[in-house]
Amino acid sequence: MTALQRDAPAARAGGPDKGQPLLRVRDLSVAYEGSVAPTPAGVSFDVSAGEVVLVLGPSGSGKSTLALALNGLIPHDVPAEVTGTVQVGGLDTVGNPVSRLSTHVAMVFQDPDAQLVTGTLLDEVAFGPENLRLPVEEVLARAESALRRVGLWNLRHTNPDRLSGGGRQRLAIACALAMGSPLLVLDEPTANLDPNGIEDFYAALGELAAAGDRAIVLIEHNLDAAVGFVDRVLVLDHDGRLVADGSVDDVLRRGADELHAMGVWLPTSALAALRLRRAGLHLEPLPLTPDELREALDADPATPPDAERAEFSPAVAAHARPPHAVAERAQRDEAPTRRPLVQVRRLTLRRGRATVLHDVDLDIREGDFVAVIGANGAGKTTLVQAIAGVVRPPRGTIRIGDLDVGRADSRTLSARVGFVFQNPEHQFIAHTVFDELAHGLRLRHVPEDDVRARTEALLDRFGLRDKAATHPFRLSGGQKRRLSVGTALAGAALDGGAPLLVLDEPTFGQDRARADEILSLLRDLNAEGTTIVVVTHDMQLVTEYADRTVILRDGRVAAAGDTADLFADAELIRGAGLRRPPLSRAFDGLTSHPGLAGIARLADLPDGTA
Amino acid sequence: MSDHARLELTDAAAAASAPTTGPVVDPYAGPVTHSPVRFLYDLNPLAKIFAPLPAMVMLVFVRDVQTPLAFIALTAVVLLIGVRFTRGLVALLIGVPAFGAVIALGFALWTDAGLVDDTAPVVQLGGWTLYGGALEIGLATGLRIAAIVVLAFIAGLSTTGPDLVRATVQQLRVPYRIGYTALAAFRFVPRFRHELEIIRQAHRVRGAHGGRGPFTAVARWAGYIVPLLAGAIRHAERVALAMDARAFGAHPDRTERHLVPFRTRDTVFLVAFWIMSALVFWLFFPWGLS
């Protein structure tokens, strides 16, 4: 391995005696200015050469703060009160500048765009070593070795802008490798990537972990992808304390119940297995990946297929659809009275020279929860933007009820349909939360008393009552998201028609807790009668929440129908450039347990406690 | 080996799904391959900026037609030899004088007829006369602007953003922290353009600041500033963290893989261009003192 030889000097510089850990954290607490309690709080751990460590914890446990503290960005660049010590390669992070620490610990951040400085991949990877004043030959040698390791050497003269998100994050790994540091810290590296990008990224990171020459500290909520190559798991609790530190088997497989209760997101397969255990199945050890789940089910001798089927089917019938919205929806589905709300007829849309949508026909019924999915560039966002009138469709192609979207002015339109953009900040226009919610009502000259009453109802509905006088930009991330849904809905319910809410990737770039929060909000709204259309990349989300799905492929509707039916068709999903959700993959080709075949959502699994 | 082969294959995938929102002009574009005759690419960016600079300044004070015309011709020759012959270059060499002609006509119409009513009338419409003198003033103005623009393209067509930054750091002794931060800031431009577009859409959907007229327009744009700035500051902070994490600013200087030397040929080009400029001004002496 020439790469190892080249990096050897850097590794030697890292620590004179071999027994010393690369990273030593002792009683670390970090408090930002104005925060009540420090997170993380009193955390101690070591990381040795070659270890792959996954850091888990619920939202607000201080995982990202920990990452920034490991290479000295806290407290040098981000002011915060730090107690305890962090040593990398024997250097104290408070007493040494970030630049010196950077040869001992390298970082990969969440946003691929915010890590680019130069104009070609080669220059980008060379940027760090150049800053270290290494000789030119050494810079080039490191750059080549790093780019080859992530498989980007052939594109070295390309502008990083030309890469996909996954490609840019792979480039970020190469940049970190080129620093020559024996430890890599990755802070939610896939949060801004689509499923293809995540797979692409983890193909590169997995090979790096397998090579074993770098220690990796990975902060990640997408466990489905990461769990395959992790050696060790650290868990922070809500208060930022370290509550678990051990192998994947010890922490994830044996402690899954407690982690789940704490609000830590587990791999979908593990969640499914926990549920199935409660239903009486014997799944030991706890499976963490779709493949493991399938094997565990097939190997489970406790219930022979015949007996199990008999006892299982009623369980599915009784518990699969819990007593809330899902069951109601199932009944509504069968009712013939469900009226069409949105009608798309022969919609063709161009952007510039490219035709983005070809001859699209689509019906959305009142009260549907519709997911629009498809590969990158399939036209998902354009379609929903046209439905909401964000981009103007040709006249007569889209109707919401009796309203022609192509003819309606924006005020009339915003009384029928609310559109929620990916970044909530983009649509805030008022100076207080109250005015923000009242804006749509005042625009239509609703009497002020009425405005007050309705707005206060909305404040309560979205849990923002005590924030009424706050500037929207000062809200927390989750509150901003709720407010953006609230403002979109405030107008949409107005003219008496059924409200329609359209959301563009509402969970993109968010952690699981926030994603869950927004989705349960949407489910509640849907149960109250709001028709919901979401664009998303998250297949498990689609199967969990949407009762109908539209699959776009190259600007055409490849399929539209009941979510379960569509996801049962593996050929269709693959053909559209999509991946099936983990549960479908696990239960596909299952030889035992026929009762599970075709189940794609966790809520449909039998659950002993329900 | 097979691992590498597999990963290299995904290159195509990584590049294929590239976003199409790239900048129209790529400030980071690498050096173009060129034949040795195309000498401008091999010159120091500073030489290419400072060579036409005196002429550009002097042209501001020129009032005749011949001098700017001479400079346009001179620059055209330099560009035709010095940079690759592309459709863009042709469009430029035709387009800029055409643009100058439009300006010429505009200025001709604006010129106070009282100043030039002793010259020959060219067009007469009823009581209104376009005098030859007005046309000449307009032409001179248009050509002047065209000449200045064309001169600027000597550096503009043959210089890359990174090379310009390197030259300012290496020769002008601009601190590299400033130079490279400026380079990183180029990346912000397309990003903000995209972000502004989304913000405008979002506000339009909300029915914000509907209506027409200059005051609503001002209110509308003021409403875009807060979200745009909030996004910009956050983005800039993240970029700064990422650069610091890669040891940016660790040492008083940094390794330069690409030296952009100031060589004899740069001096020759610089001095030759200055002499040519002086010669043009001396020949045409456009200040009418004779």
- The answer to whether B162 contacts A118, with C-beta atoms less than 8 Å apart, is yes
Q: Is the pLDDT of residue B27 over 80?
A: no
B-chain CB neighbours of A109 within 8 Å are 238, 241-242, 245
Nearest residue in A to B195, CA atom: A426
Using a 10 angstrom Cβ sphere, with 0-12 exposed, 13-18 middle and 19 or more buried, the burial of residue B218 is exposed
- What pLDDT, in 10s, does the model give residues A269-283? 898 998 888 888 888
- The answer to whether A390 contacts B223, with C-beta atoms less than 8 Å apart, is no
Q: Please say whether the dihedral angle defined by the alpha carbons of residues B84, B86, B90 and B96, taken in this order, is positive or negative.
A: negative
pLDDT of residue A59: 75
The total of structural domains in chain A comes to: 4
Q: Is residue A512 part of a domain?
A: no
SS (H, E, C) A301-313: CCCCHHHHHHHHH
Quick one: A298 and A404 in the same domain? no
Quick one: A226 and A115 in the same domain? yes
B-chain CB neighbours of A153 within 8 Å are 8
Nearest CB to B206: which of A99, A102, A414? A414
Q: Is residue A387 part of a domain?
A: yes
Q: Is residue A511 part of a domain?
A: no
**Mean pLDDT of the B40-63 span:** 92
Distance, CA of A222 to CA of A54 (rounded, Å): 11
- What pLDDT, in 10s, does the model give residues B216-247? 888 888 888 888 998 899 899 999 999 999 99
pLDDT of residue B6: 41
- The answer to whether B205 contacts A109, with C-beta atoms less than 8 Å apart, is no
Query: Which pLDDT band, with edges at 50, 70 and 90, does B3 fall under?
Result: very low
Nearest residue in A to B11, CA atom: A152
Q: Is the pLDDT of residue A204 over 60?
A: yes
ipTM value:
0.81
Q: Is the pLDDT of residue A383 over 90?
A: yes
How far apart, in Å, are the Cα atoms of A249 and each of A63, A95, A287, A297?
Answer: 21, 37, 10, 18
Quick one: A194 and A296 in the same domain? no
Residue (of A126, A116, A203) closest to A162 by Cα position: A116
Q: Is the pLDDT of residue B183 over 60?
A: yes
Quick one: A243 and A284 in the same domain? no
B-chain CB neighbours of A391 within 8 Å are 201
- What pLDDT, in 10s, does the model give residues A356-365? 999 999 999 9
A134 vs A569, residue with greater confidence: A134
Q: Is residue A513 part of a domain?
A: no
Stated as kind and residue range, the H or E segment containing A30 is: strand A23-32
pLDDT of residue B208: 64
pLDDT of residue A8: 41
The overall average pLDDT reported for chain B is: 82
Quick one: A165 and A33 in the same domain? yes
pLDDT of residue B28: 64
Cβ atoms of A37 and A19 closer than 8 Å: no
Quick one: A408 and A430 in the same domain? no
Domain that holds residue A454: 425-493
Range of weakest confidence among A314-318, A404-408, A549-553, B150-154:
A314-318
How far apart, in Å, are the Cα atoms of A116 and each of A102, A142, A227, B237?
Answer: 17, 18, 28, 13
Q: Which residues contact B111 (CB under 8 A, 6 or more apart)?
A: B133, B134, B137, B138
Range of weakest confidence among A122-126, A308-312, B106-110:
A308-312
Query: Which pLDDT band, with edges at 50, 70 and 90, does A284 fall under?
Result: confident
Q: Is the pLDDT of residue A9 over 60?
A: no
Residue (of B221, B71, B211, B208) closest to B146 by Cα position: B71
Nearest CB to B205: which of A103, A170, A414? A414
A179 vs B138, residue with greater confidence: A179
Distance, CA of A234 to CA of A251 (rounded, Å): 8
Q: Is residue A344 part of a domain?
A: yes
Quick one: A445 and A299 in the same domain? no
Stated as kind and residue range, the H or E segment containing A420 is: strand A417-420
- What pLDDT, in 10s, does the model give residues B132-174? 888 888 888 888 999 999 999 999 888 888 888 889 998 998 8
pLDDT of residue A121: 93
Residue (of B203, B61, B35, B267) closest to A436 by Cα position: B203
B-chain CB neighbours of A439 within 8 Å are 206, 208
Distance, CA of A573 to CA of A580 (rounded, Å): 7
Nearest residue in B to A119, CA atom: B28
Query: Which pLDDT band, with edges at 50, 70 and 90, does A217 fall under?
Result: very high
Quick one: A282 and A405 in the same domain? no
Q: Is the pLDDT of residue B113 over 80?
A: no
Nearest CB to B230: which of A117, A175, A473? A473
Cβ atoms of A158 and A120 closer than 8 Å: yes
Structure tokens given for A408: 């309606």
- What pLDDT, in 10s, does the model give residues A288-321? 988 889 888 888 755 544 444 444 444 444 444 4
- The answer to whether B184 contacts A117, with C-beta atoms less than 8 Å apart, is yes
Give Cα A177 distance to the centre of its chain: 25
Quick one: A273 and A396 in the same domain? no
Q: Is the pLDDT of residue A122 over 80?
A: yes
A-chain CB neighbours of B13 within 8 Å are 164, 196, 200
A residues 471-500 lying closer than 8 A (beta carbon) to B: 473, 487, 491
Residue (of B76, B22, B249, B47) closest to B164 by Cα position: B47
Residue (of A25, A44, A26, A40) closest to A81 by Cα position: A40
Q: Is the pLDDT of residue A336 over 70?
A: no
- What pLDDT, in 10s, does the model give residues A413-450? 888 888 999 888 888 988 899 999 998 888 878 889 98
Q: How many CB atoms lie within 10 A of CB B37?
A: 8
Quick one: A179 and A59 in the same domain? yes
The overall average pLDDT reported for chain A is: 84
Nearest CB to A118: which of B11, B28, B235? B28
Q: How many CB atoms lie within 10 A of CB A604?
A: 20
Q: Is residue A509 part of a domain?
A: no
B-chain CB neighbours of A166 within 8 Å are 14
pLDDT of residue A329: 45
B residues 237-256 lying closer than 8 A (beta carbon) to A: 238-251, 253-256
Quick one: A146 and A252 in the same domain? yes
Query: Which pLDDT band, with edges at 50, 70 and 90, does A150 fall under?
Result: very high
Quick one: A228 and A131 in the same domain? yes
A36 vs B192, residue with greater confidence: B192
- Sketch the domain layout of chain B as residue ranges: 36-171+262-290, 175-254
What is the DSSP secondary structure assignment for residue A109, as one 8-state letter? -
Distance, CA of A533 to CA of A517 (rounded, Å): 17
Cis status of the peptide bond prior to A285, with omega within 30 of 0: yes
Query: Which pLDDT band, with edges at 50, 70 and 90, does B20 fall under?
Result: very low
Nearest residue in A to B219, CA atom: A429
Query: What is the length of chain A?
Result: 610
Q: Is residue A41 part of a domain?
A: yes
Half-sphere exposure of B88 (CA within 13 A, CB side): 7
- Estimate the share of chain A in helix, then strand, then coil, as percent rounded to the nearest 5: 45, 20, 35
